[in-house]
Structure 1
Amino acid sequence: MLDSNMPDTIQPIDIIILSNGPGEVTTWVRPVVRALRAELVADIARVRISAILSPCPNASGKEVQILASYPEIDRVQGAEHFTNFLVWGKTANGWDWRSKGIIIFLGGDQFFPVVIGQRLGYQTVVYAEWDARWHNLIDRFAVMNAEVMAKVQPQYLDRFTIVGDLMVESQNAIDPEPNPAANADILIGLLPGSKSAKLGMGLPLMLAIAEYIQATNPRVKFAIPVAPTLDLATLASYADPTKNPVIALVNGATATLEHDGNQPYLKTSKGLTVSLHTEFPAHDLLSQCTLCLTTIGANTAELGALGVPMIVLIATQQIDAMRAWDGALGILVNLPVVGTPIAKIINSILYYKFRDRKLSWPNIWAQQREIVPELLGRLDAKTVANFTLDYLEHPEKLAEMKAELRQVRGAAGAADKLAAVVAGLVE
């Protein structure tokens, strides 16, 4: 760690975090900026951390608010100002820049740090989860595993450091102890996602599944840890048939937003209540869950890191729903008129290509071995409910899944290792 009495020969520096979507902001940026403050000095006069967002088709509009809530970050700029910054080097508020700095890439296009680094004269660090590009133009790469380095030319290998998986690090691989008193009933967590394409099908389908489960076993209770990028009214709108036409497509349940004192909840037409929890991160709530129903994405990494059993739902009733692609592909599928047919073609191709591959993080960590069940296709609420009830009736299956999750989730420390790479450049 560089203490506050570091020699005057080490100049005050700027650290720029480049990121984009809600998943990166919550699962990558948060642990990294904490690790940076622990590794470097906390004094803004010596180390100033700025976060700059680039456009993302998955953006919720709350990324700036979330970044601003991290005490380690000193200033934030939204994605709407990114193009002007990339092309002209101008920020919306006319930020000043110190003569020494480091750019850390945590989401977006890996070419962005190349352009910005050269303009500001800053060194660059890229976190690469699957692919590392621009080997000759980036100063350091912090990569998830050795596979990322397989295509790297030998002369650039000294720029690479394996740090591990930030998806695991984002949860710090903690194991909160369950509260026995809280387990008088069985609690199932519902994680329908945070993006419109997932929520449209996912929320009403999960509510319908929950109705079937509770009708069979009234002891089962349900809770939704609300993504920080969502407000309650927006979440509830996906269970409103006047606002979400996809409900009928999945034979989903409808619901209204209600409050019991300070506790918000969704109440379905059949009287099922699902409590809503806005605390973030939701580790305490999730640790009390016997089982969770979730979509693919960062949710599966969080549950896996916490050792919480899960069933992963990938509904395909609306084949054009998936439009959350980055870059040119994301622009094409979101175009008016032609976007929908393009999305159907692309997603159909991807469905047949990946239908035999595992998509949840625990199964990816396990090299495509199915640790957690993934249900892919035109999902029916009653069928999924019976599948879930079978796990509840056989707790030994849940115990086995929990043990395997803890075994494969990987070690914590990726954020600390990345911060150490940055510290090496500072020194």
Structure 2
Amino acid sequence: MLPGTAPAGAAPAEAVIVLVCNGPGELATWVRPLARRLHRDVPLRPLAPAAAIDLQLVLVPCPNATGSEAQVARRMGLFSRVLPAERFWWLLLRPRRHGPWPDHGVVVFLGGDQFWTVLLSWRLGYRHLTYAEWVVRWPRWNDRIAAMGPQAAGRLARRWRPRCEVVGDLMADLSESARSDAPLPPGEWVALMPGSKRAKLQVGVPFLLDTADRLRAQRPGCRFLLPVAPTTSVEELLRYGGPSNPLQSSYSQGAPELREAAGARWLETPAGTLIRLVEEQPAHGALSQCVLALTTVGANTAELGALAVPMLVLVPTQHLHVMQAWDGWLGLLARLPLLSWLLGVALTAWRMRNRGYLAWPNISAGRLVVPERVGAITPAEIAAEALDWLEHPQRLEGVREDLRSLRGQPGAVAALSRLVRELLPAPRTAP
């Protein structure tokens, strides 16, 4: 059986909801919450095996994907079928090769290139809904449009606006799911978030371990946690923190070791700093209890913003030859064979000189809400800045309030679920 195909012998469904996604950030913060809400609102396979509607996930090609998104999605247990990105073109060419497709369905865009969902909905003959953060690129081919805010809705031509409804920011609902039944041990917790892609981990893991050592030396009561991204592993973190990582020698010497204590696993640095590993997904409960986060750029800045966790956003540019985890055509060009090193350095340096805001709270607000530290920064500098923030809790609370004001009201996931269900055919009634 091909990867992503439905189990043999399954009864045919009357309709299907197909969620479309590209990378790990969208999978964790958009797809998972919506899938859970849909299961809550209407009986769906696979959680309701006798239901008449399937919930499926299709992953689309993306240069920023890790390649493990399909495995992560299957572990969620929310989808009757998960189609990996490498099978997407085959799906367009030969849909029936991947199992039966009901006559009725809805394709929902939740990340990637919006054109892929246009193609998919056309090929399958299904209705089409786009969740748009900033712009709707193909309104003509959408039956409904769910806009994050008035900015995306206002960019639509007047003729397409009746199709659009402002539902709000899906990230705003993270605060509702962050109520943890397992509070962290008492202490001043700082989150370390090196990213989930190889290029970011190679720099971020040794950089943040060194930073944690220096911060603990100046503030011994400080405690650290590191959420393990679903697309990476503890073994990878150990490897990136050790001598097999060529960048590790630029930071503290020696490799971290894995420890188990108090019902959790910990990384212990050669300097003796303990870092609690948060392996449950999502890690919102633990993150929401942190007073500060040290993070790379990416979807994690949106998660932290939604949880109202103050952060320092870090882009150490002294390793430009490996910092090629950029979005769009720049990232694609930086991966060209033979020229990748030289081109990656040139493109990344150009982007650093001509950048706008990098953290999602700053992009959303159009101003600097959380600090962004870009350049040849050092762990010593970041530890000193983090110490200054921790010594001024009123400043941290001010940032927290700014983030809360940007977050918006919860309810976007429920509104998007409603729009999806409105596009489904009416259920059959018994004769």
Pair in the same fold by TM > 0.5: yes
Distance between the aligned counterparts of 2:181 and 2:106, measured in 1? 39
Deviation at 1:173, TM superposition (A): 6.8
Deviation at 1:113, TM superposition (A): 1.8
Q: Does 1:362 align with 2:357?
A: no
1:86 is matched by which residue type in structure 2? L
Distance between the aligned counterparts of 1:65 and 1:231, measured in 2? 13
Could you tell me which runs of 5 or more consecutive residues in structure 1 were left unpaired when the two chains were aligned: 1-10
**Aligned partners of 2:330 and 2:347 also within 8 Å:** no
Cα displacement string for residues 53-98 of structure 1 (whole angstroms, at most 9, x for unaligned residues): 122223233322221233432211212211211233254xx31111
Deviation at 1:284, TM superposition (A): 2.8
Percent identical across equivalent pairs? Answer: 38
Cα displacement string for residues 138-162 of structure 1 (whole angstroms, at most 9, x for unaligned residues): 2222121222234322211222221
Could you tell me which runs of 5 or more consecutive residues in structure 2 were left unpaired when the two chains were aligned: 1-12, 427-431
Q: Partner of 2:387: helix, strand, or coil? A: helix
Distance between the aligned counterparts of 1:266 and 1:337, measured in 2? 37
Deviates more, 1:154-163 or 1:340-349: 340-349
Change (3 A) 1:167 1:254: farther
Q: Does 1:182 align with 2:188?
A: no
Distance between the aligned counterparts of 2:229 and 2:283, measured in 1? 9
Structure 1 residues 15-414: aligned runs within 5 Å: 15-42=17-44, 43=48, 45-91=51-97, 94-172=98-176, 174=178, 182-183=185-186, 185-242=187-244, 244-249=245-250, 251-252=251-252, 254-260=254-260, 263-325=264-326, 329-354=330-355, 357-368=356-367, 370-414=368-412
**Aligned partners of 2:21 and 2:109 also within 8 Å:** yes
Distance between the aligned counterparts of 2:95 and 2:66, measured in 1? 25
Aligned length: 408
Cα displacement string for residues 284-317 of structure 1 (whole angstroms, at most 9, x for unaligned residues): 3223322221112222222222222222212111
Cα displacement string for residues 315-339 of structure 1 (whole angstroms, at most 9, x for unaligned residues): 1112243333456544332122112
Distance between the aligned counterparts of 1:307 and 1:319, measured in 2? 30
**Aligned partners of 2:56 and 2:79 also within 8 Å:** yes
Distance between the aligned counterparts of 1:387 and 1:352, measured in 2? 23
Deviates more, 1:193-202 or 1:161-170: 161-170
What does residue 7 of structure 2 align with? Answer: none
**Aligned partners of 2:203 and 2:247 also within 8 Å:** yes
Deviation at 1:239, TM superposition (A): 0.9
Cα displacement string for residues 230-256 of structure 1 (whole angstroms, at most 9, x for unaligned residues): 1111111111122x222345x355432
Deviation at 1:176, TM superposition (A): 5.1
Distance between the aligned counterparts of 1:333 and 1:27, measured in 2? 27
**Aligned partners of 1:173 and 1:306 also within 8 Å:** no
Distance between the aligned counterparts of 1:422 and 1:397, measured in 2? 41
Q: Scaled by the length of structure 2, what TM-score is found?
A: 0.87
Deviation at 1:23, TM superposition (A): 1.0
Q: Scaled by the length of structure 1, what TM-score is found?
A: 0.88
Distance between the aligned counterparts of 2:400 and 2:334, measured in 1? 38
Deviation at 1:171, TM superposition (A): 4.7
